[in-house]
């Protein structure tokens, strides 16, 4: 992936809010999502620029987008655009960068036509960006896997297969929800003190900080995708919170893995940051410790080893109902980086298709919980509180071992590097509501 004028940190937009230092959405980002607003009929595709949204359907109607890209942007989700592939995505990005750039779209009739397609984000309701047909959750953080494994298997935190094969399971795509949607505490079976199960609301509800990649062009059934060409199938990334009921999970997960403990809700952020926008933040894949096996040939690629990592930063914030009522700000619980992940997204995709499994536009691949080696880099409460034995103390005196009703969790992410403009992933937000009677 090469750098071009769309990544130039010196360029500014004529949309003033896109030039503010703190914005997640400068001219160099241009993430894509779906939204509705009182000013538009039905759902539309849009691109975030500062505090505004560029309505892609309106741009198409104004003849400001070319051919097949214009047709793909006149839909209610990005699936048609996903299927077009990297050349079309790059073409759309280049066109948008020129239409929104101060240096490439001077005052005049064309700028006025683009300005007429802007919608304030404050007036928009964000929707799921894609029709997600399948969702696969991986376990790509060795720090997370090792820390959690030690809680349940002190003598063998990592099972023998972990360093050889990306571990994953199929999740429930129908319960993926957009950021801001309320999360209902699930009910389920959990092991009781006497060893027999009981059914009721989860008492150990947790969040999981994850990054998800949205699939563009798929592959035919029976035709694996090599690591070297996997990026051609990756459209972009977004934040994901895979809410987890730990007490239900520990009772049900053997021998087939998570089921009801995960399928009640998975939140995603609304803006998909494209693979093109992430080009300045591509770094070498995390170096494996001495003595760890090298990936098998079907999971190895020299270019992926040099550029397969992503230098993304994250933070997790919590605000309880009492904190909100008192006007207190959220408390940062943890922070982390994607650079420490054991497997790259290209490896995850290649492994997923290595048996001939076919992926389709709109499928979602999640990284699994993002954790680092430092104590402050725990991506979930299960790790942060050592399975509830070391609760977190909050500024108002409350403590949390696991999530309580009324708690709001916010995930944030961004990318920054010397010589380039900081770009953000936005946020993924959710509030816990009581279980239904």
Catalytic annotation, residues = 144
Q: Which helix (H) or strand (E) holds 303?
A: helix 302-307
Instruction: Give the tokens for residue 65.
Output: 């987008």
Based on its alpha-carbon atoms, the radius of gyration of the chain, rounded to whole angstroms, reads: 22
Bridge partners (DSSP) listed for residue 414 = 313, 424
Q: Do residues 59 and 114 make contact, with C-beta atoms less than 8 angstroms apart? A: yes
Q: Do residues 63 and 99 make contact, with C-beta atoms less than 8 angstroms apart? A: no
Q: Assign 69 to helix, strand or coil.
A: helix
d(CA 312, CA 359) in angstroms, rounded, equals 25
d(CA 141, CA 149) in angstroms, rounded, equals 12
| Longest Cα–Cα distance in the chain | 76
Q: Is 228 exposed, middle or buried (0-12, 13-18, 19+ CB in 10 A)?
A: middle
d(CA 317, CA 380) in angstroms, rounded, equals 11
Q: Which of 342, 318, 338 is nearest to 330 (CA)?
A: 318
Q: Do residues 386 and 365 make contact, with C-beta atoms less than 8 angstroms apart? A: no
Q: Do residues 75 and 50 make contact, with C-beta atoms less than 8 angstroms apart? A: no
């Amino acid at each position: 992936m090469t750098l071009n004028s769309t990544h130039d940190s010196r360029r500014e937009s004529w949309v003033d809010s896109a030039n503010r230092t703190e914005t997640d959405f400068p001219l160099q980002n241009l993430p894509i999502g779906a939204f509705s607003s009182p000013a538009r009929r039905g759902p539309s595709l849009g691109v975030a620029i500062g505090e505004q949204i560029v309505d892609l359907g309106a741009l198409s109607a104004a003849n400001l987008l070319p051919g097949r890209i214009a047709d793909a942007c006149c839909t209610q989700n990005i699936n048609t655009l996903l299927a077009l592939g990297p050349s079309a995505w790059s073409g759309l990005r280049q066109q948008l960068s020129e239409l929104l750039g101060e240096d490439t779209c001077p005052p005049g009739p064309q700028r006025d036509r683009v300005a007429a397609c802007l919608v304030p984000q404050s007036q928009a309701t964000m929707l799921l960006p894609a029709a997600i047909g399948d969702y696969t959750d991986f376990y790509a953080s060795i720090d997370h896997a090792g820390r959690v494994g030690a809680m349940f298997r002190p003598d063998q935190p990592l099972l023998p297969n972990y360093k050889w094969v990306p571990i994953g399971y199929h999740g429930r795509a129908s319960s993926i929800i957009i950021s801001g949607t309320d999360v209902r505490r699930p009910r389920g079976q959990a092991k009781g003190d006497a060893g027999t199960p009981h059914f009721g609301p989860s008492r150990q509800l947790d969040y999981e900080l994850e990054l998800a990649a949205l699939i563009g062009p798929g592959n035919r059934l029976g035709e694996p995708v090599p690591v070297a060409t996997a990026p051609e199938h990756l459209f972009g990334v977004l934040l994901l919170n895979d809410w987890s009921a730990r007490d239900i999970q520990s009772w049900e997960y053997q021998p087939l893995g998570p089921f009801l403990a995960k399928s009640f809700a998975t939140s995603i952020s609304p803006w998909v940051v494209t693979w093109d926008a992430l080009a300045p933040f591509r770094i070498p894949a995390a170096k494996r410790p001495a003595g760890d096996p090298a990936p098998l040939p079907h999971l190895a690629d020299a270019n992926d080893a040099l550029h397969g990592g992503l230098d993304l930063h994250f933070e997790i914030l919590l605000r309880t109902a009492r904190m909100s009522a008192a006007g207190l700000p959220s408390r940062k619980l943890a922070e982390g980086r994607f650079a420490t992940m054991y497997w790259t997204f290209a490896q995850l995709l290649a492994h997923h298709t290595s048996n001939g499994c076919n992926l389709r536009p709109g499928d979602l691949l999640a990284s699994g919980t993002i954790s680092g080696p430092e104590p402050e880099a725990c991506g979930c409460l299960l790790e942060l509180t050592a399975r509830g034995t070391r609760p977190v103390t909050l500024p108002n005196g409350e403590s949390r071992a696991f999530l309580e009703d009324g708690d709001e969790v916010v995930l944030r992410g961004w990318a920054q590097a010397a010589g380039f403009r900081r770009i953000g992933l936005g946020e993924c937000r959710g509030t816990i509501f009581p279980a239904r009677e």
